[in-house]
């Protein structure tokens, strides 16, 4: 499926971005082991989160769906699934669910699509093995025989919320305490949700964060906030397109996730945050973005990378319009995402006329450079597809993106939303 887009005259109005993907995954996973029925209001209805729900249903969770709401009734004991746990394109499904499966006396095989099957799973298999689970495979398919886990202190070599969450979720049913530390802090949705559901989260400078085995997740209700990673496409689009003013209500602004707001501000963008409230431990705000008066080059390094890892593709588009050379370094993690995001963005932006130098761990982008529309390949990666669509909004001529169907994994209504706010 292809998507065609051309230059926008302005971006205006108000748009509630789709609900947060990371939080929806966690709400479903937590609900599957909670001490009573839970309600998830306004979940993200996109393929990745549907993969999590479908896997959990195979393991015994009962879901009752009505408009904009999922009610979860946990099973008293998980059953070994008939057939594979199909995680589709979703790394979060596979990595977090593996922690729950490994902690229960069942056997399961976890599979993924072609992209997920290329992604590293040794990063979760290794700590789960140290805890006592049998895990075969360092890439999907993963074969897991779980149960009888012992707590560990695990120093993760990568800053990854998926690794941290996998180990903490396994630790809830392990003997003793389970701790995880990481090179720099990754998003803390799991810790916040644990606390909000009555589970004490231990913290220490040396060992990172931890949980005590036997801690129980209390029943909860959540209304999932909007996803800052999806809002990021509109934040960058409205910053770049002239005469734009856009309101984005109800967006999650968790500080371990909000690096994109800091970069936009450093580059000279205009984003206001108002009316902050909290939802199950998560800060939520209304954002207002206007066309940036002028934009200068920015630098992103190791400490900031985990706080904006999913926004780097669209920040690369921003960099093409900033004065000077922007650099994104110490971001080799980008090569292990749904596609090699360094290669995919460099190829797409170069085809549009941008000057991009790549490194093993990042890229340098020269700006400002006029972009021109052309036919582009998004490598089956939703964030590359949508970032290139934003580039198309400021390019001369028509941009045509092949493989567009991948946006269904996180933002099925991207095109409808674009048409509602962009005056083309």
By beta-carbon proximity to ligand S3P, the closer residue of 21 and 58 is 21
By beta-carbon proximity to ligand S3P, the closer residue of 161 and 271 is 161
By beta-carbon proximity to ligand S3P, the closer residue of 162 and 239 is 162
Query: Which listed range, 157-165, 349-357, 388-396, 399-407, lies at the site for ligand S3P (CB under 6 A)?
Result: 157-165
* Near ligand S3P by CB under 6 A: residue from 61, 142, 161, 391: 161
Closest separation in Å from C-beta 309 to ligand S3P: 5
Q: How far apart are CA 3 and CA 382, in angstroms?
A: 12
Q: Phi, psi (5° rounding) for residue 45?
A: -100, 85
By beta-carbon proximity to ligand S3P, the closer residue of 22 and 339 is 22
Q: Is 339 in the site for ligand S3P (CB under 6 A)?
A: no
Please give the positions annotated as active site.
310
Query: Which listed range, 144-152, 154-162, 344-352, 353-361, lies at the site for ligand S3P (CB under 6 A)?
Result: 154-162
* Near ligand S3P by CB under 6 A: residue from 156, 160, 321, 326: 160
By beta-carbon proximity to ligand S3P, the closer residue of 149 and 309 is 309
Question: 181 to 220, contacts with ligand S3P by CB under 6 A?
Answer: 186-187
Of the candidates 345, 323, 320, 342, which has an alpha carbon nearest to the alpha carbon of residue 333?
342
Q: Which residues contact 395 (CB under 8 A, 6 or more apart)?
A: 6, 7, 352, 371, 372, 373
3-state secondary structure 352-363: CCCEEEEECCEE
Q: Is 22 in the site for ligand S3P (CB under 6 A)?
A: yes
Q: How far apart are CA 66 and CA 69, in angstroms?
A: 5
Closest separation in Å from C-beta 98 to ligand S3P: 13
Question: 269 to 308, contacts with ligand S3P by CB under 6 A?
Answer: none
Closest separation in Å from C-beta 93 to ligand S3P: 10
Of all residues in the shown chain, the one whose CB is closest to ligand S3P is 22
Tokens of 405: 């169907």
Closest separation in Å from C-beta 108 to ligand S3P: 20
Q: How far apart are CA 317 and CA 348, in angstroms?
A: 10
Question: 50 to 109, contacts with ligand S3P by CB under 6 A?
Answer: 92
Q: Is 310 in the site for ligand S3P (CB under 6 A)?
A: yes
- Size of residue set near ligand S3P by CB under 6 A: 12
Q: How far apart are CA 91 and CA 88, in angstroms?
A: 9
Q: Is 24 in the site for ligand S3P (CB under 6 A)?
A: no
Q: How far apart are CA 116 and CA 361, in angstroms?
A: 21
Distances (CA, A) of 344 to 50, 235, 378, 415: 26, 21, 7, 21
Closest separation in Å from C-beta 187 to ligand S3P: 6
Q: Is 258 in the site for ligand S3P (CB under 6 A)?
A: no
Q: Is 309 in the site for ligand S3P (CB under 6 A)?
A: yes
Of the candidates 403, 386, 404, 378, which has an alpha carbon nearest to the alpha carbon of residue 310?
386
SS3 259: helix
DSSP state letters, 366-402: EE---EE--EEE-TT-HHHHHHHHHHHHTEESEEEEE
Q: How far apart are CA 256 and CA 345, in angstroms?
A: 24
By the criterion CB under 6 A, which residues form the site for ligand S3P?
22, 25, 92, 160-162, 165, 186-187, 309-310, 333
């Amino acid at each position: 499926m292809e998507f065609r887009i051309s230059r926008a005259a302005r971006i205006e109005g108000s748009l509630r971005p789709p609900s947060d993907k990371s939080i929806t995954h966690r709400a479903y996973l937590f609900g599957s082991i909670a001490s009573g029925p839970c309600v998830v209001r306004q979940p993200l209805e996109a393929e990745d989160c549907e993969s999590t729900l479908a896997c959990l249903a195979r393991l015994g969770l009962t879901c009752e769906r009505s408009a904009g709401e999922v009610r979860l009734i946990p099973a008293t004991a998980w059953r070994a699934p008939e057939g594979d746990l199909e995680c589709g394109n979703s790394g979060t499904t596979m990595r977090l669910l593996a922690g729950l499966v490994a902690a229960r006396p069942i056997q399961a095989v976890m599979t993924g699509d072609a992209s997920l099957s290329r992604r590293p799973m040794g990063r979760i298999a290794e700590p789960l093995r140290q805890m006592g689970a049998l895990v075969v495979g360092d890439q999907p398919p993963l074969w897991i025989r779980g149960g009888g886990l012992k707590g560990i202190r695990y120093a993760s070599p990568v800053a990854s919320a998926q690794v941290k969450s996998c180990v903490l979720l396994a630790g809830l049913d392990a003997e003793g305490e389970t701790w995880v530390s990481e090179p720099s802090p990754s998003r803390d949705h799991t810790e916040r949700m644990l606390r909000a559901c009555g589970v004490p989260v231990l913290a220490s400078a040396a060992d990172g964060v931890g949980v005590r085995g036997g801690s129980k997740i209390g029943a909860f209700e959540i209304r999932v906030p909007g996803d800052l990673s999806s809002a990021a496409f509109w934040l960058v689009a409205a910053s770049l397109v002239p005469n734009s003013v856009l309101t984005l209500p109800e967006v999650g602004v968790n500080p371990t996730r909000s690096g994109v707001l800091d970069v936009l501000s450093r580059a000279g963008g205009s984003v206001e945050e108002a009316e902050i409230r909290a939802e199950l431990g998560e800060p939520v705000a209304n954002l207002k973005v206007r066309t940036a008066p002028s934009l200068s080059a920015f630098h992103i390094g190791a400490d900031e990378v985990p706080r904006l890892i999913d926004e780097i593709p669209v920040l690369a588009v921003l960099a093409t319009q900033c004065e000077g050379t922007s650099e994104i370094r110490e971001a080799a993690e980008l090569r292990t995402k749904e596609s090699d995001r360094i290669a995919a963005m460099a190829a797409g932006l170069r085809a549009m006329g941008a000057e991009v130098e790549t490194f093993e761990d990042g890229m340098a982008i020269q700006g400002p450079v006029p972009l021109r529309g052309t036919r582009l390949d998004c490598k089956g990666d939703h964030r590359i597809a949508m970032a290139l669509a934003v580039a198309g909004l400021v390019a001369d001529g028509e941009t045509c993106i092949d493989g567009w169907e991948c946006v269904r994994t996180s933002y099925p209504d991207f095109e409808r939303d674009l048409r509602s706010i962009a005056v083309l």
